[in-house]
Amino acid sequence: MTASEKIALVPGICADPFFADCAAVFEEYAGKAFGVGYCRKETEGGIVLKRDPALPEEGYRLTVAEGGVTLLAAEKKGMHNGLADLLDRIEKDGDSLLAAPCDLTESPDCPWRGLMVDLARQWHPLPYLLQYVDLCWKNRASRLQLHFTDFQSFTLPMKAFPKLATEGRSYTPEEIGTLVDYAESRGIVLVPEVDVPGHTSQFFAKYPEIFGTAGVLPASDEVFDALRTIFSEVADMFPHSPWIHIGGDEAAIGEWEKCGRTKAYMKEHGIADIHEMYAEYIRIVTDMVLSLGRTPIVWEGFRKEYDDRIDKRTVVVAWESFYQLAPDLAEAGFTLINCSWKPLYIVTGRVSWSPEEIASLDPWQWDHWMASSPAKDRGIRIDRKYPVLGEQICAWGDVIAGWENWEDGIKLEMQLVAERLPALCGKLWDLGF
């Protein structure tokens, strides 16, 4: 299509009051992309945003025609998706803004078009988090999981346990508020993660009297009370987040054999061994999250013989195809998110897979490169009748955490994500079957 066949757009935007904040966000991004200021009134050739309750929550209808652009949506998330699509279609030609004519009605096939960023191994100052929200918006991603805690740091502010926040690499309450408002005004759902009972050295470094004695959080009423307080603070900090991720990966549960408090707890509750204790831990913490009115998410980790004791509202992230395989989790009744190591993991500076490999993964399929995974070489596939919400790219900071210039590390991470997120979101938007 030549430039003359495209429609010349006028930088005006007129929104139903329900979509006023969507219009403001579009103005901001369009201003940055094209150096053009959008006026906020009905303008011949401009953009009109209207409400159409018949469209699905994330859907929109976009019409670009002589006379202007009309964008219809039922909900703000649908309008944000439509505006991101529109922004992508606009090009600048001299002083003109052009877009090809179209009339399309869109909605995504998969609700979970996710990105996870590891904030605990590599400290990310707030402006980088806001840029990740921008990246999600531009790609019509829907969820941004934030891995706030791990061995290296605990990056959330806590009122009841103030020493937990790692000095010099934790967010202030005001920064979390800014992040929450920024994501909410862009329709991006934040998924906060506090990883327990493993990856918790910060807990026992700062409060050994409560969390100490082992390389994994002990099982004890005192620890569970503390975790109830911590997750309740997380829920308060992230009021718009329907999901809270409790971690649950790679816990060094062998340490419980040496932990008097955990052994006493197991005896008191008739728990036979550490694998049952681990499943019980996940049950207790996921129940805490449910009692806060949020849906718990957990990394794949508990054994299948204990599936019955975990509430089936829990969403399981199948990532390593090692502890329990997706077919068993699905058959047990869990809803899944696909984070197949290959091709969805990025360990910046060490490993990542191409956008093409990401685009060709089916959400009901797991591929792996880890030698001990049963998915290695042959992959794992489950029937499409099972609920898989979608997929998520996970950007880990293990390697860049060791780099002298941390900003170079984050910039490389952001570049790797920016190259891959379009492939993930594009595919999950329209699976083509």
Q: Which residues bind ligand ACM (CB under 6 A)?
A: 249-250, 299, 319
Q: Which is nearer to ligand ACM, 68 or 248 (CB)?
A: 248
In whole angstroms, how close is the CB of 150 to ligand ACM at the nearest point? 9
Q: Which is nearer to ligand ACM, 112 or 299 (CB)?
A: 299
In whole angstroms, how close is the CB of 116 to ligand ACM at the nearest point? 9
Q: Which is nearer to ligand ACM, 59 or 247 (CB)?
A: 247
Alpha carbons 110 and 191: distance in angstroms, whole number: 17
Element (H, E) at 385: none
Element (H, E) at 406: helix 406-429
Q: How many alpha carbons fall within 13 Å on the CB side of residue 263?
A: 9
In whole angstroms, how close is the CB of 397 to ligand ACM at the nearest point? 12
Beta strand 68-73 pairing with 60-65: antiparallel
In whole angstroms, how close is the CB of 423 to ligand ACM at the nearest point? 20
Q: Which is nearer to ligand ACM, 79 or 395 (CB)?
A: 395
In whole angstroms, how close is the CB of 226 to ligand ACM at the nearest point? 23
Q: Is the dihedral of CA 422, 425, 429, 431 positive or negative?
A: positive
Alpha carbons 79 and 83: distance in angstroms, whole number: 6
- DSSP, collapsed to helix, strand or coil, labels residue 61 as strand
Q: Which is nearer to ligand ACM, 204 or 319 (CB)?
A: 319
Q: How many alpha carbons fall within 13 Å on the CB side of residue 264?
A: 7
CA 50 to chain centre: 29
In whole angstroms, how close is the CB of 193 to ligand ACM at the nearest point? 10
First-residue to last-residue Cα distance in the chain: 29
**Per DSSP, which regions of 178-277 are E strands?**
189-196, 243-247
Q: Which is nearer to ligand ACM, 83 or 388 (CB)?
A: 388
Which residue in the shown chain puts its C-beta closest to ligand ACM?
249
In whole angstroms, how close is the CB of 151 to ligand ACM at the nearest point? 11
How many helices (H) and strands (E) would you count in the chain? Answer: 13, 19
Q: Which is nearer to ligand ACM, 249 or 328 (CB)?
A: 249
Q: Which is nearer to ligand ACM, 372 or 405 (CB)?
A: 372
Count CB-CB contacts under 10 A for residue 92: 12
Place of tokens 């891995």: 147
Q: Which is nearer to ligand ACM, 155 or 220 (CB)?
A: 155
Name which of 116, 169, 133 is nearest 348 in CA terms: 116
Pair of tokens at residue 244: 């809270």
In whole angstroms, how close is the CB of 242 to ligand ACM at the nearest point? 21
Alpha carbons 190 and 97: distance in angstroms, whole number: 33
On whether the CB atoms of residues 276 and 269 are closer than 8 A, the answer is no
Bin 421: left if φ > 0, else alpha if -120 < ψ < 50, else beta: alpha
In whole angstroms, how close is the CB of 284 to ligand ACM at the nearest point? 20
